[in-house]
Structure 1
Amino acid sequence: MQIGIDQLAFYTPNTYLDLVDLANARGEEPDKYRIGIGQSEQAVIPVTQDAVTLAANAAIKVVDQSNRDKIAMVLFGTESGIDNSKSAAIYLKRLLDLPDNIRALEIKQACYGATAGVQFAADYVRLHPDKQVLVIGADIARYGLHTPGEVTQGGGAVAMIISAAPRLLNLDDETAFRSEDIMDFWRPLYRSEALVDGRFSENVYIDFFKAVWLDYQNQTNRTIADFTAFAFHLPFTKMGLKGLRAILPEATETQQERLKANFEASRQYNRQVGNLYTGSLYLSLRSLFDNAALKPGQRIGLFSYGSGAEGEFFSGTISDQFKAQKSRQWFKTFFSNRKRLDVAQYERVFSQTLPQHDVYLDTSYDDARFVLTGVQHDQRQYLDRDQHKVTE
């Protein structure tokens, strides 16, 4: 029985910052960002969007009447949670009008949370092949204005349906993982922006990738020749390229060209969105599905990394049901129609945060279906515009 990713959708708001504008404002050469970091644009997240609304706006694309009653769990990977006790998945479950006989949990380990959700979901579906699991990766990446990490900000959400007989990717059983207590990136409870040791974090990322890749090879006896493409966690797209380069010498020249071309396909969307934290790997996978010439049966390698640190290498084969995806046109239209903010506008949006008291937010400029309308009695208020009702 084959288990894997049946659907994979994405959402981010329609406002963005061109990183050439940011480079000029910060006195940097634009190529430092476009080539050195590998980023062109980044999503700018308004205060009317949080991890819950981002997730809802992505998930509504993969949840409908055809599968609503089949979903047995919601697993919400995030490091941008809105409550120290209550799971973001509980809010999402209500916004999506999912049934009550369901598990709804939040998973946290930096950018690794969604991958933990995928693996837990796959194990569940193997035992319950008539059920599905909704897995979310939703985050807002914040490092602060005028900081070294500013160029790697962004945000958005991916939503995946894990099922039997998937239409996108059949997950292999073998997986290799590693965890160590490392202070390369962290965000204490009292901070809204993350702290990061950038160079150290890059080195740990590469070390973890090489370690889990070797472990995976030892488990499976597969080599780089067995893979059509690799998808990476992309806090910035140059990071994934560094990971790929670490193993390219294992491939023939022809194989290297194929892998490099498919990596370029896999980072197109991330270049224009920025850092998604838990969703970054899966936006890259969506970009690979949409922009590479893939065929059923081809094997894809996936590297997930969460600072602090947890890494995992796993793989899957393209489903026999895989076909050209409509989402490629959706992304093309979306990127063409986004609103470009200048640096002053971006800084104003970035600086708008929820106060530590009740507030009503103006949502008139936010075109999303699900929005955060404010806080009342210390409870976040969410609006589903299609239902014309507020959900607390």
Structure 2
Amino acid sequence: MNVGIDKIGFFTPNYYVDMVDLANARNENPNKYLIGIGQTEQAVIPNTQDTVTMAANAALQVIDDSNRDKISLIILGTETGIDNSKSGAIYLQNLLGLSRHARAFEIKQACYGATAGIQMAKEFVNLHPNQQALVVGADVARYGVRTAGEVTQGGGAVAMTIAADSTILKLSKNSSVYSDDIMDFWRPLNRTEALVDGHYSNDIYQQFFVKTIHDYLQTNDMNLTDLSALVFHLPYTKMGLKGLREILPELSETDQKHFLSEFEASRVYNKRVGNLYTGSLYLSLLSLLDNSDDLHAGDQIGIFSYGSGAQGEFYTGTLQPGFKNSQRKKQINEILNQRTRLTVPEYETMFAQWPKLDAGDYHLDDLKDHSQFTFTGVNESKRQYQTKA
């Protein structure tokens, strides 16, 4: 049975900061950000958007009357939870008007959460081929103004439906996983900004990639050249390039050029958005689907997922005849091109307006946020959401 990704959509809010502007404001050579980090723009998240609203806005692109009643599993992968108890997936279920008979829950393991959701959804659909699952990776990446991690911030959501007879990507039955108790990145309960050991995290990422891809290829009696492209978790796009370079010596010069070309296609969108944490890998997959000129139905794609702390997983997918979608590509480019470019002071002000964990009750004015779903504050310690017509 062809179980896999049937639809995929993306959302990020209507603001960004240009990396040249940020570099100049921080007295850095812009190439440190443009080349050294591999980013050109970074999404800036207003306080009227959170993981729930971004997930719901992304899901609008994959949920319609043709599949709404088939969704019986809702999984939100996030490390930017909005409640220590209640799952964001429950809010998502309500905002989207999905069945009350659906299972709905949240998964947390750093940037790996959406992948865990996809693997669970795949098994669910194998058992229930007439039903579908909604899996969303949604996050806000915050490290702080004028910190070492500032250039790797961002946010947004990627929503996917998992179904039998999928039109985009058939998922492999097997995968290779590796996990260890690693303190490369963490976010204590009293913080909205993450803590990270950057160089250590880069090293662990590359180690986990090499371990899992080689294990997968060996276990499944495959060669690297059986794959037409590799997709990486991209908290910043240079990180994926570092991973790719670990295995390039195993390829011919011609194959190296091919994999590098496909990697460039896979980071077109990520370069303009920044870090989505759980959604980063799947935005990269979406970018590859939309921007590669050399892929065809039947090609196998290698997929590397990584979540600090740490969990790595490598699996593959086979492209289906419907993987190209010009309307989807047009919609995503419109989302990115129609955003408002903030000055660095404006970005700093918006960043500082993010609600504190102990903010109590408050109301947010969402008149400038034209997204269909917005967050409007907290009343009696209960989060308030609005659906616009």
TM-score range, shorter chain: over 0.9
1:203-242 correspondence runs (5 A)? 203-242=203-242
Matched residue SS, 1:326: helix
Counterpart for residue 161 of structure 1: 161
Aligned partner letter, 1:153: Q
Counterpart for residue 381 of structure 2: 378
Counterpart for residue 299 of structure 1: 300
Aligned partner letter, 1:134: L
Shift of residue 354 of structure 1?
A: 2.3
Counterpart for residue 146 of structure 1: 146
Number of matched pairs: 386
Counterpart for residue 90 of structure 2: 90
Aligned partner letter, 1:303: F
Relative to structure 1, the CA distance from residue 154 to residue 70 in structure 2 (aligned partners, 3 Å threshold; closer, same or farther) is: same
* Aligned residues of 1:74 and 1:93 also touching (Cα < 8 A): yes
Counterpart for residue 390 of structure 1: none
Shift of residue 17 of structure 1?
A: 0.2
Counterpart for residue 389 of structure 1: none
2:360 is the alignment partner of 1:357: yes
Matched residue SS, 1:37: coil
Counterpart for residue 338 of structure 1: 339
**1:59-102, Cα deviation, whole Å (9 max, x unpaired):** 11111111111011101000000000000000000000111101
**1:209-239, Cα deviation, whole Å (9 max, x unpaired):** 0000111012111111001111100000000
1:38-77 correspondence runs (5 A)? 38-77=38-77
Matched residue SS, 2:139: strand
1:235, 1:324 → 2: CA distance?
Answer: 25
Counterpart for residue 99 of structure 1: 99
Aligned partner letter, 2:201: S
**1:171-224, Cα deviation, whole Å (9 max, x unpaired):** 111200011000000001011100000000000000000000111012111111
**1:84-137, Cα deviation, whole Å (9 max, x unpaired):** 000000000000011110100100000000000000000110111101000010
2:32 is the alignment partner of 1:29: no
Counterpart for residue 323 of structure 1: 324
1:63, 1:206 → 2: CA distance?
Answer: 36
* Aligned residues of 2:289 and 2:324 also touching (Cα < 8 A): no
Structure 1 vs Structure 2: percent identity of aligned residues? Answer: 57
Matched residue SS, 1:314: strand
* Aligned residues of 2:118 and 2:135 also touching (Cα < 8 A): yes
Extract unaligned runs of 5+ from structure 1: 387-392
* Aligned residues of 2:12 and 2:335 also touching (Cα < 8 A): no
Q: What TM-score do you get using the length of structure 1 for normalisation?
A: 0.97
RMSD: 0.9
Shift of residue 347 of structure 1?
A: 0.3
* Aligned residues of 1:75 and 1:136 also touching (Cα < 8 A): yes
Shift of residue 156 of structure 1?
A: 0.1
Matched residue SS, 1:161: strand
The farther-off stretch of 207-216 and 313-322 is 313-322
1:142, 1:325 → 2: CA distance?
Answer: 32
* Aligned residues of 2:289 and 2:323 also touching (Cα < 8 A): no
2:386 is the alignment partner of 1:368: no
1:144, 1:326 → 2: CA distance?
Answer: 36
Aligned partner letter, 2:274: G
* Aligned residues of 2:290 and 2:324 also touching (Cα < 8 A): no
Counterpart for residue 271 of structure 1: 271
